Structure 1
Amino acid sequence: MSTLIKSAVTTLEVEAWLSSEMTPGDTRWFEGPADPAYALSLQPKLKLTAPSASDLPTILVTPAHTYQQMLGIGTSVEDTTINNLSKMDAATRASFIQQLADKESGLGFNLFRITIGTSDFTAQPFYTYNDLPEGETDFDMKHFSIQKDVDLSIIETVQALLQAAPNVKIFASPWSPPAWMKTNGDLKRGSLKEGAEYTAALAKYYRLAIQAFEEQGIPVGAMTMQNEPLLETDYPSCYMSPERQLELAIALKREFDEHGLSTKLWIFDHNFADAMGYVTPILNDSEGYNVVDGIALHDYDGSPEVMSEIHAAYPEKPIYLTERSLWGTAGADRMAQYFRNYASSYNAWVTMLDSQIGTHQWLGQPGPTMFVQDAAQPNRYWRTPEFNMLAQYSRFVEPGAYRIGSTYGSTETVTNVAFRNPDGSLVTVVINQTQEEQSFRVLCDGQQFIAALPAGTVGTYRWIQ
C-alpha cells in the first residue's frame, strides 16, 4: 500500500520552467548582454487535481492521440560559428560546446546541420571539395579532398560536439556543386550541367564527402541534395529542378548502396510556399518514392500548414524543418506551429555571430543569434533570450518523443504544443504572446492543473500522468 501511495503522490505534481522575451530580434543584442525577467527559471511545482468547472482558457491534452515522432532539435555548425569559436582559447571553446550539448546547464541540442563545402555564412573564400582551374574537369574525383574543412577546424569542432554528446545526430547540406560541374562555371548562381555524366559525377562527389566525414569519425545520418534549390544568388547556390533532383536522388542512392552507406536522403530543403510543387514530381515517381527518406523545409515564405498537406499526401515520409531563425514568443509559437503541422525536427540557422555581426557573406543583415561573441574579446560571449526560448523545447522534448493531441488555444490568451517522451512523461510548451499575464487550465486524462503565465513568456510544463 505504501508503494502505491508514494507513486500516486509523485504523479500529482507538474514541473514548470519560464523564459521571457526581451526586445526580440533587436540588434541591441550585438551590443552586450541583459537579463530578461525569466531565463529558464524553475517555478514552484503545480498540483494535478481532479477536474473542476472553470472559465479559464483551457488546453485539452489527449495523449492517446499520437502524431509524428521527433528526431531532434538543434542548430547549424557552419563556418561563421566555427571561425568565431577558433578565436577562443581551448577551455572557453570546450565550455561553449558543452552549452550546446548539455541538458542541465545548456541547450541539450541533439541534431546539428553541417555544410558540404562553404555556405553564405562563412569567413572564407567560397570553396567546395573539388575546385579546379577554369576549363578543367575531374569526373574520376582524383582531386577530391576535405582538407580545407580540417585546416579550418570544422572537422575538429564537429568531433568535439560528438564527444560532448555521443547521441548527437548530424545531417549535411551542400550550397553548390563544384564550379566545373555548373552551367556558368561559378559557385554562385547557375545550375548543374545537363547530362547523365554530371548527375553521376555529383552523386559520386556527395558519396565521397559522406565517406570522408565518416573516416573522421563523423557519421552523417542524413543529407539534403541542394540547399534552397529554387534560389540562384550571389553566394554559393544552384538551381535544381525537381526532375533533376529526382535523377540525383536515384544516382546518389545507388552510390550509397554500392559503398555500404546508410545516410538518408532528404529532398527539397527550401520554402513552404513551393513545397508541394517540388516534392510531388519526385514522390509520385515510384523509384523516387523508394529512394527518398524525408522532406526538408525552410520557413522564409509560405505557411507551416503545407506540412500537414504533405503529410496527408505522403504519410510515410517524415518532414524536417532544417533552417530558420526565430525570436521571442512569436518565434516560440511559430515552432509550435511547425510541430503541430508534422515537423519531426527544428534546426536554427547560425549559432554565433560576433558583436560586429560577423563574419558572414549573406546579402542581408542577420538578426541576433542565440550566442554573440565580443569581437574585441573573443573569449567573452553572451546568451541572448533566444537561447532560453530554444531551450524551453530542446531541454524537455526528448529524441523519440511523439507529439500528442492538444487544442492549440488562441494568440489572444495562450497557445501550445504537447509531447509524450520515451520515459512516459508529458510535456507541453505554452506561449503567451500578449502584454498581460494569462491564467489557463490544462485538462488531461481525468486530471487538471492551473497555471499563470506572465506577459511575453514561454512556459514548459512536465508531468507524469
Structure 2
Amino acid sequence: MRPPRKALLAAACTLAAAALTGSALAPAQAATAHRPAPGPASARVWITTPDGTRTLSDAGTVDFTDAPSTAPTVVVDPSRTFQTMAGFGAAITDSSASVLSALDPQARTAAMRSLFSPTSGDGLDYLRQPIGASDFTDGPAYTYDDLPAGQTDYSLAHFSIAHDRARILPLLRQAEQLNPHLQILATPWSPPAWMKTGGSLTGGRLIDDPRVYRAYAAYLVKFIQAYRAAGVRVDTVTVQNEPQNRTPAGYPGTDMPSWQEAKVIEQLGPMLRAAHLDTRILGYDHNWTEHPNDAAATPPDETADIGDYPQQLLNSPAAAYISGTAYHCYYGDPSAMSALHKQFPTKDVYFTECSGSRSADPANTFSDTLKWHTRNLVIGATRNWARTVINWNIALDPAGGPHNGGCTGCTGVLTIGADGTVTRNAEYYTLGHLARFVRPGAVRIASTSFGTTGWNGQVEDVAFRNPDGSTVLVAHNENDNPQTFAVREGDRDFSYTLPGGSLATFVWKDDGSAARGPQQLDPTGWSATASTSSTTDVAADAVD
C-alpha cells in the first residue's frame, strides 16, 4: 500500500450538464404556488472543522421553512435510489492489535467503545482483517502454514491460527460485542511461501500448479472456519491484497494476475458452498487505477490486465462466484467505481482500504486528512457506488508503527502513545460522520452536489435514507471561506452556513409529504468535460 496523495487535486472541473442542473433546480424558479402538508420541521447538525476546534460537535438544529432560498440548493430526492450501504470501518492489523493490547484493560475498553459502540462511539461496523501478516505487523512476517524451505503441505496438516489468539481475536470478539452489526472482510497479503515462486512471502506469485490453486483455496476456507470456531464470523473475503503490487517494500505481497486470481476463485467458490459458508468473494482489491510503476513492471503474460484487471476477472468464468469488486485509494480517482458499475451493474462495489498519512508539516495533518478523505472517501466513494468506506489501521503509535516495511508515514484512526494516551485523528471523525448516522441497510439517495473530488471550492455532499425513514446528508465545504447553501427535500428548505473546509452531517425525518415536491433530473446519459488551462484538471473529478 502507498500513502494517499495529500496535495489538493485538480482545480475546477466543469460538468457538461451543470447549466441544466442549475436552471432546472434553481430555487427561484421552482414551483411555489401550492405547497402540500408540511414535511420535516428541522434537521439536527453535527460539524467538524479543519482546525480541530469542533469535532463531531452537536451544532443544534436548523429549521425547514416554506420560503425558497436564493443560495445554491441541494435537492434531496428519495425517489431515486442507488446502492445499499454495508458499513464503515478500518482494520485491526497486527500492529493495531499490538498498540491496543498495550493499554491497560480499562483504557482499552474505552478506546474500543469509542470506535465501535453505536450509542457512545463511532459505531464502526465493517472491518478489514489481514489473513496473516501485512506491512503492519509487530514482528516477523507470517502465514498460518509456514514451513521450512523445500517442504510442502498440500493437505494443510500444519495449518494454525495460533498467532492471532493472543491479541487479534480477543479484540475482534470485543468489537462484535460492542456492535452486533459488525462485518469482517478478510484479505491475505501472501499465500504461504511454499505455494509461491521464489519461496518467499515478499514478492513472487503462485506456482502455476492445480495442486497449489486447490491448496490455496482450501487455506482460505480453513481460515474462515477457524475464525468462526474462535467466535469471529468472516462475511467477505478477497484472495489477494493489491495483486498488481509486484515489488512490495520489504513486506508480504504477491503478484497475482487476473487469470491466476480467477483460477483460485474457481476453486474457492465451490469449496465455500460445500462447507456451507455464505462468505462472499470480492475480486481485485487494489487501486482505482493501476499505478504507473505497477504498469511499467507488468510481465508479458499480464499485459491484458493493465487498466483492466477487474474487467478481466468479471468476464472470466470465476465471475459466477464473485459478489463484487474491492478498491483502494492510492492511485486514480473514485470515478473508476462508477465506470465498473456501468459495465457490470449486478456486481457490488466495495471501498476497502485507504490510509491517512502525515503531511509535510505535521501541523496540517488533521486538516489535510479531513479534507482529502471527505472528498474522496466519505463523499467520493459513496457517490460512486461503494457500499463500504474502510480505512487502513484502526490504531498506531505516534511514529506510525509498529510496522515491518511498507509505509513510514501512515496514520491510524487512533494514535496510542507509550504512556497510554489515546488521540482521535481526522479519520475518526470522517468515518464518524458516516457511521454514527447512516444505519445498517441505509440506501444512498439522489442529491445535487456542486463540489468535485478534485476540489473546486464548492459544497459537495451525499445523501442516504435510513430504514427508519430518516434522511442523512453529509456535506463538505471545499472552500477555505464560509459558504451558505440550502437543502430542499420536497417543498421545504433550510439554509446553512458551513465554515471553510468543514464537514457536517444533517439528519431529519419527514412525514412522507416531501416526495411530492421538486425532484432531481435523472442524469443518465450525461457526460462530463473539463475546460481549463490546468493540465491536471480531469472530467473524472466529477462526483457522479
Asked if Structure 1 and Structure 2 have the same fold, meaning a TM-score greater than 0.5 normalized by the shorter chain, the answer is yes
Q: 2:42, 2:61 within 8 Å by CA — same for their partners in 1? A: yes
Aligned residue number for residue 6 of structure 2: none
Specify the alignment match of 1:370 in structure 2.
413
Aligned to 1:185: 199
Match of 2:40 among 5, 8, 11: 11
Aligned mate of 1:321, from 344, 351, 364: 351
Once residues 412 and 207 of structure 1 are traced to their aligned partners in structure 2, the CA distance between those partners, rounded to angstroms, is: 48
Residue 202 (1) aligns with residue 216 (2) = yes
In 2, the alpha carbon distance for the partners of 1:340 and 1:51 equals: 29
Contact 1:63–1:405 (CA under 8 A) maintained in structure 2: yes
Partner residue of 1:338?
A: 381
CA distance in 2, matches of 1:51, 1:110: 39
Name 2:390's counterpart in structure 1: 347
Query: What displacement does 1:452 show?
Result: 0.9
Q: Percent identity?
A: 34
1:388-430 per-residue CA deviation (whole Å, 9 max, x = no partner) reads 2221111111121111111111332311111111111111101
Q: Is the 8 A contact 1:325 1:349 kept in 2?
A: yes
**2:150 equivalent among 135, 148, 153:** 135
More off after superposition, 365-374 vs 157-166:
365-374
Query: Which segment is superposed worse, 108-117 or 406-415?
Result: 406-415
Contact 1:174 1:225 in 2 (8 A): yes
The partner residue of 2:75 within 52, 57, 60 is: 60
Distance (Å, rounded) in 1 between the aligned partners of 2:279 and 2:372: 34
Whole-Å separation in 2 of the counterparts to 1:16 and 1:447:
17
Out of 426, 435, 451, the residue aligned to residue 471 of structure 2 is: 426
Does 1:398 pair with 2:436?
no
Distance 1:141 1:45 in 2: 59
Q: Within 5 Å, which residues of 2 pair with 1:19-168?
A: 19-22=48-51, 36-52=52-68, 54-151=69-166, 153-168=167-182
Partner amino acid for 1:259?
A
Q: Which runs of no fewer than 5 residues in structure 2 stay unpaired?
A: 1-36, 291-304, 357-368, 511-544
Displacement, 1:374? 1.2
Alignment pair present for 1:302 and 2:332: yes
In the TM superposition, what is the alpha-carbon distance from 1:51 to its structure 2 partner?
4.3
Q: Deviations over 1:315-373 (max 9, x none)?
A: 11110000013411232111201111111101010011112332012433223322111
SS across alignment from 1:294 = strand
Q: Which amino acid aligns with 2:253?
A: S
Q: Aligned to 1:417, what secondary structure does the other structure show?
A: strand
Distance in 2, Cα, partners of 1:260 & 1:205:
16
AA partner of residue 363 (structure 1): G
* Structure 2 contact 111–422 (Cα < 8 Å) conserved: no
Q: Is 2:271 the partner of 1:255?
A: yes
1:218 to 232, 235, 241: 232
Cα deviation, 1:185-215, whole Å, max 9, x if unaligned, reads 0000000001111100101111111100000
| One-letter amino acid of the counterpart of residue 81, structure 2 | T
Distance 1:160 1:131 in 2: 28
Residues 46, 60 of structure 2: 8 Å contact kept: no
Instruction: Map 1:355-366; keep pairs closer than 5 Å.
Output: 355-366=398-409
SS of aligned partner of 1:213: helix
Please list the CA deviations of residues 418-452 of structure 1 after superposition, one character each: whole Å capped at 9, or x if unmatched.
Answer: 11111111111010122111110012211111111
Aligned to 1:60, what secondary structure does the other structure show?
A: strand
Distance in 2 (CA, whole Å) between partners of 1:393 and 1:134 is 47
Aligned length: 440
Q: In the alignment, what sits opposite 2:315?
A: 284
1:172 aligns to 2:186 (yes or no)? yes
Query: Residue 236 of structure 1 aligns with which residue?
Result: 252
2-structure distance, mates of 1:163, 1:120: 28
**Does the residue aligned with 2:461 lie in a helix, a strand or coil?**
strand
Letter in 2 for 1:273: T
Aligned counterparts of 1:321 and 1:339: Cα–Cα separation in 2: 9
Amino acid across the alignment from 1:90? P
- Structure 1 unaligned residues grouped into runs of 5+: 1-7, 23-35
Deviation by residue 1:143-187 (Cα, 9 ceiling, x = unmatched): 010011113x11111111111112211110000000000000000
Corresponding residue for residue 20 of structure 2: none
The 5 A counterparts of 1:379-458 are 379-410=420-451, 411-458=456-503
- Find the aligned partners of 2:239 and 2:466 in 1 and give their Cα distance: 31
Aligned with 1:273: secondary structure? Answer: coil
For 1:448 and 1:111, how far apart are their aligned partners in 2?
34
- Distance of 2:43 and 2:56 partners within structure 1: 16
> Are the aligned partners of 1:51 and 1:443 in contact in 2 as well (CA < 8 Å)?
no
Whether the 8 Å CA contact 2:95–2:401 is kept in 1: the answer is yes
TM-superposed CA distance for 1:455, in Å, is: 1.3
Q: Secondary structure at the match of 1:227?
A: coil
Secondary structure of the structure 2 residue equivalent to 1:115? strand
Taking structure 2 as the reference length, the TM-score comes to: 0.79
Tell me how far 1:69 sits from its aligned partner: 0.7
Post-superposition offset of 1:384? 2.1
Residue 289 of structure 2, aligned match among 267, 273, 276: 273
Provide the C-alpha distance between the structure 2 equivalents of 1:208 and 1:417, rounded to a whole number of angstroms. Answer: 39
Answer yes or no: is the 8 Å Cα contact 2:442–2:466 preserved in 1.
yes
Deviations 1:112-133 (A, max 9, x none): 1111111110112000000000
SS in 2 for 1:239: coil
Contact 2:49 2:501 in 1 (8 A): yes
Whichever residue aligns with residue 373 of structure 2, its letter is G
Partner amino acid, structure 2, of 1:124: G
Query: Aligned partners of 2:217 and 2:410: how far apart in 1?
Result: 35
Contact in 2 for aligned 1:200/1:251 (Cα 8 Å)? yes
Range 204-213 or range 325-334, more displaced: 325-334
Paired position in structure 2 for 1:5 = none
CA distance in 1, matches of 2:464, 2:67: 21
